Amino acid sequence: MNKNSRKFVVVEHTADIGLTAYGKTLNELFENSAYGMFSQITDIEKVKPKDKVEVQVEGYDKESLLVNWLNELIYFLTTKKMLFSQFKIKKIRDNSLSAEIRGQKIDCKKHLCHLEIKAATYHNLKISKTKEGYQTTIIFDV
């Protein structure tokens, strides 16, 4: 698989877990970051995109927007007991985004949870513009 077609790679971190996400566009970077995060939580292929949720998030820059986006998804996981497998950023600006996410309620017979992610962190977080588009490394508190 070449670097241009991958969504994310897992990053080793001492006490937590991280991933480096990629995207041709900023929208795709945010979508792939969410996909990567949920891929660490469960077998994302078993999560059916049955239920749709509209999400609005704000931040003071792109990095805080990314952290707030991922933490909003964690909020839905912990409070609504929902897993997600499809992420569509509809609009993104410097300090806000709107998205549509799809998934389903956790089904203990189908969804094994590999990892409990408590939060996305700001630890060494930076969104970089590359020749291929964008990339970022995100560390999660587990």
Question: Residue 22: which CATH number?
Answer: 3.55.10.10
Q: Which residues of the chain have pLDDT under 70?
A: 1-5, 12-15
Q: Are 63 and 122 in contact (CB under 8 A)?
A: yes
In a domain, 43, yes or no: yes
Cβ proximity of 62 and 94 under 8 Å: yes
Residue 3 lies in a domain: no
- Whole domain around residue 81: which residue ranges? 8-141
> What interhelical angle do 62-80 and 26-41 show, nearest 10?
40
| DSSP-derived 3-state class of residue 115 | coil
pLDDT of residue 14: 64
- Number of domains the chain contains: 1
pLDDT at 1: 45
| Percent of the residues in the chain that have a pLDDT greater than 70, as a whole number | 94
| Closest listed residue to residue 22, CA positions, set 138, 141, 100 | 138
Question: So what's the pLDDT on residue 13?
Answer: 58
The closest of 91, 81, 75 to 30, measured between CA atoms, is 91
